[in-house]
Amino acid sequence: MLRSVLAALTPPPRVVDWALAAGVAVAVGSGLASFTTGTRSGAWLFWLHAAVGLSLAALLAAKLWRVRRRVVDRAGWDAATPLSVLQAAVAVAAVATGLFWVLGGNVPLWGWTTLNLHVGLGLLLVPLVVVHLRARYHSPRRVDADRRAALKTGAVLVGGAVAWRASETADRLLGGADRRFTGSKPVGDLSAADTRGGDFPVTSWVADDPDPVDRDAWTLTVAGAVDAELALGVDDVDRAGNAAGGGDEAAGADASADSDEPADDETAGGGAATLDATLDCTSGWYTVQRWGGVRVGDLLDRAGVADDARFVRFVSVTGYRWSLPVAEAREALLATHVGGDELSHGHGAPARLVAPGRRGFQWVKWVERVEVRRRGDPAQWLVTLISGFD
């Protein structure tokens, strides 16, 4: 009885196969795009990713049930079968780790969270799907694209959306209500072993891991499309951080972990400021901290920004860099302190970018140059992948 019901609900084989390929493409694309989304306006990306991922689980189950006999019977294997089995295993693991994370689970592995593992498996799945399509390619048939097939496929997608909402409810019942819309959890849930210089993890994007910066030799340069370049020593920048990084009397109002609007408090005329902002790391954790330092807008005002300037690029001592539109950059902070304490090396000392609404990898550490530019910097995407490699 159950088998006949499932057969009646399952789309035709080729529809399942092509829906799986399309689902993987959408899931990977939305997942990568979500890495650059830190405000509620982009929450739909995470919702799409979750709903499609759960739909993939149903489609994958239908696919595996259909081919089970061919896999079990080794006599029917051909040269492409081992790769197909590997692809299926990776797909199952990718879906399982994503669901495990959503339901509040996390098993750190060699410094990776379960979310990191989920992302890695998703990226590995892309070339495996491409090679699998080349070996098992079957063109869609007109007979498969009928109304019944469309309704069945739509039902799977709707089921994925409903399952996602159910998983959200289950997450809350299991105590995961503090999870942000990005999927990130408070650092306390991650049992981070490395919290040097602060009560949140020390992480770096890819291979960025420089030696501690010599504070006495360090200089912050503001250059590019400006009227007058600035060269500030550590005392110039640190003085502002000390003025703004103190106790409650200097602090702005508390900021919600999901708020798009940071709370800040500026010391009039001196360039010093505090900013309550959420650092949301793509490793799957977030923390709300009070940052003290220099408002980037004050630095730009001192240097004088050209009328046709469009972007501000923040460059690390490692060569790592990220750019923000001028208007957004003005509201950002170059932090020298966090929680009233001087930044540690791991957290980006002498100065790091604090960019509310951006994900953690865009908060450039060990900043030594602020460059005002007339054009964007598409090469920054490549630099994020190779920075830190000798």
DSSP secondary structure letter of residue 216: T
Which pair of structure tokens corresponds to residue 306? Answer: 């050209």
Nearest one of 111, 150, 192 to 12, comparing CA atoms: 150
DSSP secondary structure letter of residue 41: G
Task: Work out the average pLDDT over 154-164.
Answer: 66
Task: Work out the average pLDDT over 86-91.
Answer: 92
pLDDT reported for residue 77: 83
d(CA 332, CA 368): 16
Res 6 pLDDT > 60: no
pLDDT reported for residue 247: 43
Q: What band does 58 get if pLDDT is binned at 50, 70 and 90? A: confident
- The domain limits of the chain are 2-183, 219-386
Q: CA dist 128 to 25, 30, 85, 387, Å?
A: 12, 19, 10, 27
Q: What is the dihedral of CA 370, 375, 378, 380, to 10 degrees?
A: -10
Bridge partners (DSSP) listed for residue 277: 289
Topology of the domain comprising 219-386: Sulfite Oxidase; Chain A, domain 2 (3.90.420)
Which pair of structure tokens corresponds to residue 281? Answer: 């790391």
d(CA 86, CA 241): 53
Q: State the residue for tokens 């002498």.
A: 350
Average pLDDT of the residues of the chain: 80
pLDDT reported for residue 102: 79
* pTM, rounded to two decimals: 0.80
